[in-house]
Structure 1
Amino acid sequence: MELPFEVLVYLFKYLPKSDRKAASETCRSWYLAANDQCFLKNKVAVFYKTIFNEESSSPLQIFEDSPITYYNYLFNEVEISSKQNEFWNKLGEHIQCLTLRNCDICEKVFVHILQKCTNLETLNVQNCKELFMSGCLLEGKSEGFLTENLENLKSLSLSGNQYLTDALFNRFTSAAPALQELDLSACSLQFHAGLVKKFYPPGTDIFLNPSESVLTFYFILQLIISRAKNIKRLHFSCTLIDGAALKALSEIKDLELTSLQAHSCDQLTNTGILSLTSYQTSLKELDIGLCTRVTDQSLVHICKNLVNLESLNIQRCRAVTDLGITELHKLKKLKSLNISQCELLTKEGLEKGICAGENQSLEELDINSLNIDQTGVIMISERLPNLRMLNLSYCFNAVTDTSVQVIFKNQLLLQILKLSHCDKVSDAGLTGMGKVEIKEGEDGPIMSNIDESHMSPKIHLGSRAEEEIVRDAKRKKDVMLMCEKLSMDSYTGYSLARLRSLKELDISGCNRITDVSLTYAFNFKELIKLNLSRCQQITYEGIEHLVKNCPSIEYINLIDCYNLNDKAVEDITKNLQRLKHLELRGCNQLSDKTLEAVRAYCSKLQFLDVQGCRHMSPELACSIGSLPSLHTVLMSKPGPYIEDGKKNRAPAPAFLPALMRKLRLH
């Protein structure tokens, strides 16, 4: 008996995206339910490094014949020519969001696309420099069909186009009267007053005679002034926007921004930020990360005036200190905060800022590379109960077996956890086997170190590194014994497995993690991304348990895990049916058997990195590129190799030209 269509759609709403995609492959009725209208608005059809041809099996032909109508398309690093015109003729009127990124496309084809896409709401033309190089794009088109076709356009991104000029920009915007969002990130915006005087003498109507040589902030500013009531979101990241320019922008009459992205703008100063906070009080999202001239003065005014702020990024604003960070408690609606790489911040600043009391609103926190200790992480974990994302990477002194135990105890809603290069974490912390009890009045739990009193009192004649290896081996053995004797419910520790909603985990560089953790602490049905790079004690035994308990993994990074063998990779390819991204660089025990397993079982693999795997033959690695879903293979250049102390200088094999498009040699 089949469930009614409406019931299937209702049930699928509770599934994560990847699970819903897998369910859609079960049968036709499930496929249709998983592609109901309520899901399609957020689905994007992605063509990455795709080679289009005129055959019936062309990826575009599949979408033309599909009973499902998709509204969002992204073309990345593909060649779009007139041969694909039939696709735009059939589906263009349904497309609402179109992204062309790093594409090879000519002006005539682009104009044809705009002619057919009559209901566009979002248009992104990013890093397509050849399209703008001549300066003639859309010339003479604005007054005709283009104005009608782009009348519903709300978001326009022309980021990364170095040949963009005032004239080209004007042709796009004059045809889009309803624009609300504008993205000019990484464009060659010119701010010098001398250029304005040169190209726009007094009395000149800039909209009638826009410059065909440069892209000036003056022209952008005049456009925003003319449409101040509509513009809500602006992106000027990676440009030379300075304090004076931001001040002029902020003071525009009737302009009420909700989002401003100014990431990596080295010229931005406090003057502009102060003006922004005084006039644009409706801001909900502000990104000034990597703006090195921003100081505490700016942060104080941000926290005082932008009371509606929900997302704030001040990554690597190195002049910010505890004086500014203590003001963050005033942002009661803040949901996302990035204060990573701010070297002057301490636990005291966090305690008076985001941890001044129990913070129920903050859901995402990035504090990687902060100079705090483990009591700071314990405090964060206890004061921020609703975190969904937590990045503690490179907090060497803060992330220990003690502090991660508190995280596992309190942060049960976590979906993303990053502990990259926190090398004090061991199996005892991840499994919870080193936990004693939490006593009232103490800062946090006290971890019982593995008892080393019974270790041999003999003087160790090796190096300190060798001695540490011996101790790690002893710890691993002891924790393994404890795990075997106790069940999950019979000890007082807190295991990583408590984070049942985990979707992404990064413990790269945590070299004390062994097979014990993979065996007893990894049981995540929704885990999609896993980074285990440089966890060099991991072997086949741990991988065997991992792939059985975490079947939804799509991205796995095993770079420099040199203890892995072909059997481990075979287990990965057989059990992880959704695998799309596999990194095996530096796993020098792997051979051609690994490549054969990939070819046999990885029907959905898109990315493969086998650089430094010297026992793999280049010929077989090249043949892997013929897999239909695989778009990128990273492999080492063939030869010379050292065999028996001698260099093998045999000539490189002849690669097939068609496959070379998928291969990157390093």
Structure 2
Amino acid sequence: MELPFEVLVYIFKYLPKSDRKYASETCHSWYLAANAYCFLKNKVVVLYKSIDSDENTSNLSIFENSATVYTNYLFNEVEISSKLNGFWERTGENIKSLTFKNCDMCEKVFVNILHECPNLESLNIESCKDLFMSGRLLEGKTDGLLVNNLENLKSLSLSGNQYLTDALFSRFVKAAPALEHLNLSGCSLQFHLGLVKKFYPSGTNIFENPSESVLTFYFVLQFIVSHAQSIKTLQFSSTLIDGAALKSLSEAVNLELNKLEVHSCDQLTNTGILALTTHQIMLKELDIGLCTRVTDQSLVHICNNLINLENLNIQRCRAVTDLGISELHKLKKLKILNISQCELITKEGLKNGICAEENSVLEELDIHSLNLDQTGVIMISEKLPNLRSLDLSYCFNAVTDTSIQVVFKNQVFLHTLKISHCDKVSDAGLTGMGKLQQDGDDDSPIMSNCDEAPTHQKIHLGSRAEEEIVRDANRKRNVMRMCENILTMDSFTGYSLARLKHLRELDMSGCNRMTDVSLRYAFSFKELVNLNFSRCQQITHEGVGHLVRNCPSIEYFNLTDCYNLKDDAVTEIVKGLRRLQTLELRGCNQLTDRSLEAIRTHCEKLKFLDVQGCRYMSPELACAIGALPTLHTVLMTKPGPYITESVKNRSPAPTFLPSLMRKLRLH
């Protein structure tokens, strides 16, 4: 008997989006439930790199003829021509969100798209320089029908467009009276008052005669002031916004921002942050990462005034010290925090800040590249029990077998864990077999059993590197023996990585002490989607075989520079991971054409493949792989000319190569 539609929808709400997607392929009733409105409104149709020019065979025709109505579309690196006008005429009325990234289209086609999409709520035009180059886009089009079509537009992003001017900006915002979110990141905003005086002499009505030569912050500010009651989100990342500009923006009458992004703004100073925290006290999200002039003074004002803040990013604000970080305990609603790459932050600052008391609110923490020791990680783990995402990458001295055990013990709700280049972590810590608890005391200190000194001393005559290799081999053998023994008894010794049952993303790139032992005994994640093992050079096909059987949901798999992998490992991957979409094998120089044949035979959903540096793979076969219908990008080493017996081989390229060049990137 079939479950009612409402019951299926209720159950599907507990599934990750990836699982819902594949559950929808089971039967028609599950398909309908997985595409209920509560899920469908957040789904985005992504078209990458190419669309067939023939309407009858175009990728768009699949969605055009579907019984499911999709409302969000993203076009990335696509040439959009007038041949697709029929698609916009038939589906434009249902489209609510439209994004163009690095797309090639002319002004006439774009205007036609806007005419055919009367219900747009979000419009994103990112890095489409050809569209703005003439400066005539929407000229004479902002009256009548076009204004009515964009009257519901709430979000507008024109980021990364260097040819944007005041006149072009004016035409967009004039047609969108209900705008709430504005993104001008990466645009060539001009802040010099001399330009304002040159293009807007005293007494000039700027809205009637906007400049067609430059994009000035003065003009954008006047628009924000005139729409202050509706504007809630502003993004000016990667611009030259300075303290004075942010001060004038913050003081706009009736402006109450919920979100501000000024990431990578080197000219931003404490003056602007002080004004922001004084006037925009309703802020919930603030991104001032990579603003190198921000100091403790700014952070003190943020923590004292922005009591509603939920998301704070101060990545690489190198002038911030423990003095500023100690104030973070005042932000009682903070859920997401990024303090990575702040070189002057130490354990003491964290102890007085986010770890001043047990914090059950903070869910995401990024502290990669901080100068901490393992006691700092242990403190964080004990004080932040509800973390969902934790980035400890490049904390070389902090992430050890001891500290990672405490993370496995306390952070059981983690869905994202990143410990990239933490090369002190070994099988002993990942499996928990090298850490033993004292009998009858769950909270007792943990101690290592893997590096016990032998009862008799020997003089080692090899180099330090050779000695380390021997030590690693002994450690691997000891952990393997303990893992096998533990399977025959009911006792528990330590905390395994497998304890993190909800893990969806794991980055262990550069953790070179991990071996097949961990893959066999510590990896069992049904929800794991993203996995990065690049430069983990001790893993082989034996461990990979255990991995793919216990982690069947992997979609992104990075195995760059894993030198010991052979064709058998790739065969295991492509046969076992039916959801695989991205596979990176760069520098795996033992792989041959057998791997490519396995990929071509078994990968039904692969979109991205990187086989650069795989010297035993033939370029012709790598090119042929590009014929897979789902594959849109193949990265490979540039073929030839090859030298055989001192003679260059200048044989012509395969006949199918030109048609596949749109999918290949040669390096």
Task: Name the TM tier (shorter chain).
Answer: over 0.9
Matched, 1:186 2:175: no
User: 1:448 aligns to what?
Assistant: 448
2:436 and 2:449 in contact (8 A); partners too:
no
Matched, 1:250 2:250: yes
2:392 and 2:399 in contact (8 A); partners too:
yes
* Cα distance in 1, alignment partners of residues 641 and 582 from structure 2: 28
One-letter amino acid matched to 1:244: A
Q: Deviation string for 1:449-488 (max 9, x for gaps)? A: 4144338744323221111111111111110010011039
Any idea what SS the aligned residue of 2:405 has? helix
The TM-score with structure 2 as length reference comes to 0.97
* Cα distance in 2, alignment partners of residues 642 and 156 from structure 1: 55
One-letter amino acid matched to 2:393: S
Runs (4+) of structure 1 moved beyond 6 Å? 438-444
* Cα distance in 2, alignment partners of residues 334 and 347 from structure 1: 19
Q: What is the deviation of 1:299?
A: 0.2
Q: Deviation string for 1:580-617 (max 9, x for gaps)? A: 00000000110001001111111100000000000000
1:435 and 1:445 in contact (8 A); partners too:
no
User: 1:535 aligns to what?
Assistant: 536
* Cα distance in 2, alignment partners of residues 450 and 642 from structure 1: 50
* Cα distance in 2, alignment partners of residues 82 and 533 from structure 1: 43
Structure 2 gap ranges (5+): none
Matched, 1:169 2:180: no
2:231 and 2:255 in contact (8 A); partners too:
yes
2:51 and 2:60 in contact (8 A); partners too:
no
Q: What is the deviation of 1:539?
A: 0.2
1:378 and 1:444 in contact (8 A); partners too:
no
User: 1:599 aligns to what?
Assistant: 600
In structure 2, the CA distance between the partners of 1:183 and 1:438, relative to structure 1 (3 Å rule), is farther
* Cα distance in 1, alignment partners of residues 537 and 6 from structure 2: 49
User: 1:147 aligns to what?
Assistant: 147
User: 2:496 aligns to what?
Assistant: 495
Q: Deviation string for 1:411-431 (max 9, x for gaps)? A: 000000000000000000000
Q: How does 1:19-418 map to 2 (within 5 A)?
A: 19-54=19-54, 56-418=56-418
User: 1:585 aligns to what?
Assistant: 586
User: 1:627 aligns to what?
Assistant: 628
User: 2:523 aligns to what?
Assistant: 522
Any idea what SS the aligned residue of 2:98 has? strand
1:243 and 1:268 in contact (8 A); partners too:
yes
2:24 and 2:31 in contact (8 A); partners too:
yes
* Cα distance in 2, alignment partners of residues 648 and 565 from structure 1: 29
User: 1:572 aligns to what?
Assistant: 573
In structure 2, the CA distance between the partners of 1:117 and 1:482, relative to structure 1 (3 Å rule), is same
In structure 2, the CA distance between the partners of 1:222 and 1:348, relative to structure 1 (3 Å rule), is same
In structure 2, the CA distance between the partners of 1:455 and 1:608, relative to structure 1 (3 Å rule), is farther
One-letter amino acid matched to 2:569: A
User: 1:637 aligns to what?
Assistant: 638
Any idea what SS the aligned residue of 1:271 has? helix
2:378 and 2:406 in contact (8 A); partners too:
yes
One-letter amino acid matched to 1:601: H
* Cα distance in 2, alignment partners of residues 294 and 462 from structure 1: 51
1:472 and 1:512 in contact (8 A); partners too:
yes
* Cα distance in 2, alignment partners of residues 580 and 68 from structure 1: 24
One-letter amino acid matched to 2:92: G
Any idea what SS the aligned residue of 1:79 has? coil
Q: What is the deviation of 1:446?
A: 3.0
One-letter amino acid matched to 2:422: C
Any idea what SS the aligned residue of 1:556 has? strand
1:100 and 1:128 in contact (8 A); partners too:
yes
One-letter amino acid matched to 1:43: K
* Cα distance in 2, alignment partners of residues 438 and 265 from structure 1: 52
Q: Deviation string for 1:74-93 (max 9, x for gaps)? A: 00000100111111001101
In structure 2, the CA distance between the partners of 1:409 and 1:174, relative to structure 1 (3 Å rule), is same
In structure 2, the CA distance between the partners of 1:402 and 1:438, relative to structure 1 (3 Å rule), is farther
User: 1:426 aligns to what?
Assistant: 426
Matched, 1:5 2:5: yes
* Cα distance in 2, alignment partners of residues 251 and 346 from structure 1: 35
Deviates more, 1:289-298 or 1:142-151: 142-151
Q: Deviation string for 1:136-190 (max 9, x for gaps)? A: 0000011121110000000000000000000000000001000000000000000
Q: Deviation string for 1:59-79 (max 9, x for gaps)? A: 111111100000110000001
Any idea what SS the aligned residue of 2:156 has? strand
In structure 2, the CA distance between the partners of 1:642 and 1:436, relative to structure 1 (3 Å rule), is farther
* Cα distance in 2, alignment partners of residues 397 and 652 from structure 1: 53
Q: What is the deviation of 1:651?
A: 4.6
Any idea what SS the aligned residue of 1:661 has? helix
Q: What is the deviation of 1:58?
A: 1.6
1:288 and 1:315 in contact (8 A); partners too:
yes
User: 1:610 aligns to what?
Assistant: 611
In structure 2, the CA distance between the partners of 1:583 and 1:445, relative to structure 1 (3 Å rule), is farther
* Cα distance in 2, alignment partners of residues 433 and 112 from structure 1: 64
The TM-score with structure 1 as length reference comes to 0.98
One-letter amino acid matched to 1:473: A
Q: What is the deviation of 1:106?
A: 0.5
* Cα distance in 1, alignment partners of residues 163 and 455 from structure 2: 69
Q: Deviation string for 1:219-271 (max 9, x for gaps)? A: 00000010000000000000000000000000011000000000000000000
Any idea what SS the aligned residue of 2:447 has? coil
Any idea what SS the aligned residue of 2:435 has? coil
2:55 and 2:83 in contact (8 A); partners too:
no
Deviates more, 1:482-491 or 1:319-328: 482-491
In structure 2, the CA distance between the partners of 1:161 and 1:581, relative to structure 1 (3 Å rule), is same
* Cα distance in 2, alignment partners of residues 41 and 642 from structure 1: 56
One-letter amino acid matched to 1:505: L
One-letter amino acid matched to 1:608: L
Q: What is the deviation of 1:648?
A: 5.9
Any idea what SS the aligned residue of 1:417 has? strand
One-letter amino acid matched to 1:49: K
One-letter amino acid matched to 2:221: L
Deviates more, 1:488-497 or 1:554-563: 488-497
Any idea what SS the aligned residue of 1:597 has? helix
* Cα distance in 1, alignment partners of residues 268 and 349 from structure 2: 24
In structure 2, the CA distance between the partners of 1:456 and 1:594, relative to structure 1 (3 Å rule), is farther
Any idea what SS the aligned residue of 1:100 has? strand
Deviates more, 1:455-464 or 1:412-421: 455-464
Any idea what SS the aligned residue of 2:18 has? helix
Q: What is the deviation of 1:52?
A: 2.1
2:55 and 2:84 in contact (8 A); partners too:
no
One-letter amino acid matched to 1:141: K
* Cα distance in 1, alignment partners of residues 326 and 4 from structure 2: 55
Q: What is the deviation of 1:640?
A: 4.8
Q: What is the deviation of 1:10?
A: 1.8
1:406 and 1:444 in contact (8 A); partners too:
no
* Cα distance in 2, alignment partners of residues 228 and 349 from structure 1: 38
